[in-house]
């Protein structure tokens, strides 16, 4: 089957067969399809779109381009995927909460790029933690602890890696069917029985409008079912940072505080527990969402989730006393600086993307994929949308390693926050798609 003929069919608006899609993915995997042909195929799909059946065939073909996990465990295997945001450390609490309720969570996560933070970068801020273990250790930790948060290995959906790299430089990343196949191929390769999507919507999200977020969530849930995977989605608000902290070690500390009950940000708690409830409901670990919510809350309040997080960290090479003494192990920045509100009033708006870029200015994010990051820097005590402030009150606290970096981050924060009349504050969970 000629690669150029497959591209021509899609260019002209035809629906590709599963065989054509499989041949295209084989070309991407083996290198028999040239870089130009991969780019042309991506652009053809970008303009012509794909049916759910085509996207499902693409998902399964990319899944089968590498290793596929098969689990033999006494409970359901389930995961969550977020489209990315600022102050979004949900995975760190969610995995042990669901594991404490009887689920098994092999959470394969990614690194941050642009203004969004990456779960893998957060876990890498824990000394000794092995974020990319071999398959045997990954299986062992999931089976014995109930959850493991790791990064994608070279053997999981390798076709997606090449395809995404081409999409990234050909302005075709935003294609909904290609986003769908990229996400689901990796999740299906992890051997999941259930998946819950957290699709962000707002000025800090990849999909900035509610309508585009619903389009993506509908595509992912529909294609997942075509591929035999039970999948629901939550549309959640990203018109402000989700946690009161943004940065890597800083968000890990925030997660430990959440798990132990030392401090819990209200919006973060609502989203985390709603996702946990959905994961428990779709796997049958709870009768419905309400029962799942009660079960998840009990696992959190009892300390069971905190205990499992500590066990996971230790099993993957981190400190045995991490949950008890995170401050002994997490890096801290050289200086802190409060950013003063320039006027009195309410926090009328937050340009959330600018908050993420402030962390990048500090060295806590990447401008390029190969950049090294500073785990210690970031922002804490971020003021919520709608709160009343007096001129001079802190909007946040900057954690930096130099005055120059703090100056740059402060400028971004002041650009991001607007002070004025009290706004309408969106609910954290905007919609559930099932």
Per DSSP, the three-state class of 229 is: coil
Alpha helices in 31-134 (DSSP H): 35-48, 52-63, 90-100, 119-124
CB 223, CB 52: distance < 8 Å: yes
Same domain as 285, residue 407 = no
Decide if 56 is inside a domain. Answer: no
Catalytic site residue from 59, 131, 182, 244: 182
Residues 285 and 362 in one domain: no
- What CATH number is associated with residue 357? 3.90.1170.30
CA distance 433 to 27: 35
Q: What is the pLDDT of residue 260?
A: 98
The CATH number of residue 16's host domain is 1.20.970.10
Please indicate whether residue 412 is annotated as part of the active site.
no
Note the pLDDT of residue 156: 81
Active-site residue, from 63, 64, 65, 79 = 79
Q: Which pLDDT belongs to residue 291?
A: 98
Indicate whether 433 belongs to any domain.
no
Of 310, 326, 342, the position where a domain reaches its end is 326
Of residues 22, 139, 186, 346, which has the active-site annotation?
186
- Please answer whether residues 122 and 287 qualify as being in contact, where contact means their C-beta atoms are separated by less than 8 angstroms: no
20 found inside a domain: yes
Per-residue exposure over 244-279, b if at least 16 CB sit within 10 Å of its own CB, e if not: bbbbbbbbbbbbbbbbbeeebbebbbbbbbbbbbbb
- Name the domain boundary from 298, 326, 354: 326
Of 414, 378, 433, nearest to 89 by C-alpha is 378
Of 115, 187, 295, 346, the catalytic one is 187
Catalytic residue among 81, 111, 162, 346: 81
Measured between alpha carbons, how far is residue 187 from residues 81, 156, 236, 403 in Å?
Answer: 8, 9, 20, 42
Backbone angles phi, psi at 394, to 5 degrees: -75, 130
Check if 109 is active-site: no
| Listed residue (298, 290, 383) closest to 341, CA to CA | 383
* Phi, psi dihedrals of residue 239, rounded to the nearest 5°: -90, 10
> pTM for the full model?
0.92
Say if 225 falls within a structural domain. Answer: yes
Catalytic residue (one of 167, 329, 346, 412)? 167
CA distances from residue 358 to 163, 232, 327, 369, 389 in whole angstroms, order as listed: 30, 33, 23, 18, 21
**Chain-centre distance for alpha carbon 210:** 18
Domain for residue 65, yes or no? no
What are the residues facing 80 on neighbouring strands?
A: 196
Following DSSP, what letter does each residue of 307-375 receive, concatenated? Answer: HHHHHHHHHTTS-TTTTT-GGGTS---SEEEEEEPSSSEEEEEE-HHHHHHHHHHHTSS-SSTT----T
Provide the pLDDT for residue 117.
65
Q: Domain holding 256: CATH number?
A: 3.40.1030.10
Scanning the structure block, which residue is given the tokens 């780019």? 39
Contact 83, 199 (CB under 8 A): yes
- Does 388 share its domain with 244? no
339 is in which domain, residue-wise?
332-420
Same domain, 267 and 235: yes
Q: How far is residue 58's CA from residue 205's CA, in Å, rounded to a whole number?
A: 25
Q: Is 79 a catalytic residue?
A: yes
Choose the catalytic residue: 52, 80, 267, 295: 80
d(CA 240, CA 100): 30
**Residue 142 lies inside a defined structural domain of this protein:** yes
| pLDDT value, residue 218 | 95
Residue 371: active-site member = no
Output DSSP code: residue 4.
H
* Nearest residue to 95 via CA among 325, 378, 310, 376: 310
81 is catalytic: yes
- Give strand ranges (E) for 49-206: 78-82, 105-109, 147-151, 194-201
Q: Would you state the pLDDT for residue 112?
A: 57
Residue ranges with strand state E in 102-155: 105-109, 147-151
Q: Give the count of domains, the chain.
A: 3
Active site residue 186: yes
- Per-residue pLDDT 10s for the chain (434 aa) are 899 999 999 999 999 999 999 999 999 999 999 999 999 999 999 999 999 999 999 999 999 999 899 999 999 999 999 988 899 999 999 999 999 999 999 998 876 555 666 888 899 999 999 998 988 999 999 999 999 999 876 678 889 989 988 887 888 888 999 999 998 998 999 899 999 999 999 999 888 899 999 999 999 999 999 888 999 999 999 999 999 999 999 999 999 999 999 999 999 999 999 999 999 999 999 999 999 999 999 999 999 999 999 999 999 999 999 999 999 999 999 999 999 999 999 999 999 999 999 998 898 876 665 678 899 999 999 999 999 999 999 999 999 999 999 999 999 999 999 999 999 999 999 999 98
22 in active site? no
Selected catalytic residue, list 3, 82, 221, 230: 82
336 lies in the same domain as 321? no
Q: Which of 59, 91, 119, 236 is catalytic?
A: 119
């Amino acid at each position: 089957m000629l690669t150029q003929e497959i591209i021509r069919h899609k260019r002209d608006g035809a629906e590709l067969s599963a065989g054509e899609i499989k041949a295209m993915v084989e070309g991407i995997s083996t290198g028999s399809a040239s870089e130009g042909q991969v780019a042309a195929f991506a652009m053809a799909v970008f303009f012509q779109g794909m049916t759910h059946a085509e996207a499902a065939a693409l998902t399964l073909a990319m899944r089968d381009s590498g290793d596929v996990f098969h689990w033999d465990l006494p409970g359901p295997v389930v995961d969550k995927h977020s489209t990315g945001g600022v102050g979004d450390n949900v995975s760190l609490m969610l995995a042990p909460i669901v594991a404490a309720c009887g689920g098994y969570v092999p959470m394969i996560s990614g690194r941050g790029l642009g203004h969004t933070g990456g779960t893998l970068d957060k876990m890498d801020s824990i000394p000794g933690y092995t974020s990319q273990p071999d398959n045997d250790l990954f299986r062992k930790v999931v089976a014995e602890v109930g959850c493991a948060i790791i990064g994608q290995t070279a053997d999981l959906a390798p076709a997606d890696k090449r395809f995404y790299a081409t999409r990234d430089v050909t302005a075709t990343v935003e294609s909904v069917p290609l986003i769908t196949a990229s996400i689901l191929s990796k999740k299906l390769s992890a051997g999941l029985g259930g998946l819950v999507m957290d699709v962000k919507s707002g000025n800090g999200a990849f999909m900035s409008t509610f309508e585009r977020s619903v389009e993506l969530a509908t595509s992912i849930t529909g294609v997942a079912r075509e591929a035999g995977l039970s999948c629901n989605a939550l549309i959640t608000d990203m018109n402000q940072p989700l946690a009161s902290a943004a940065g890597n070690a800083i968000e890990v500390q925030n997660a430990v505080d959440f798990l132990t009950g030392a401090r819990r940000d209200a919006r973060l708690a609502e989203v985390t527990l709603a996702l946990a409830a959905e994961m428990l409901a779709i796997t049958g670990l709870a009768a419905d969402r309400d029962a799942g919510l009660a079960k998840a809350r009990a696992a959190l309040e009892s300390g069971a989730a905190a205990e499992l997080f500590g066990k996971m960290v230790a099993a993957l090479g981190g400190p045995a006393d991490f949950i008890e003494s995170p401050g002994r192990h997490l890096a801290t920045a050289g200086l802190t600086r409060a950013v003063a509100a320039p006027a009195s009033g309410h926090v009328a708006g937050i340009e959330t993307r600018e908050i993420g870029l402030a962390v990048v200015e500090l060295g806590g994010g990447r401008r390029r994929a190969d950049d090294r990051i500073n785990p210690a820097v970031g922002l804490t005590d971020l003021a919520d949308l709608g709160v009343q402030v007096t001129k001079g009150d802190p909007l946040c606290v900057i954690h930096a390693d130099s005055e120059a970096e703090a100056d740059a981050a402060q400028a971004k924060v002041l650009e991001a926050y607007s002070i004025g009349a009290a706004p309408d504050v969106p609910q954290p969970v905007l919609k559930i798609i099932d």
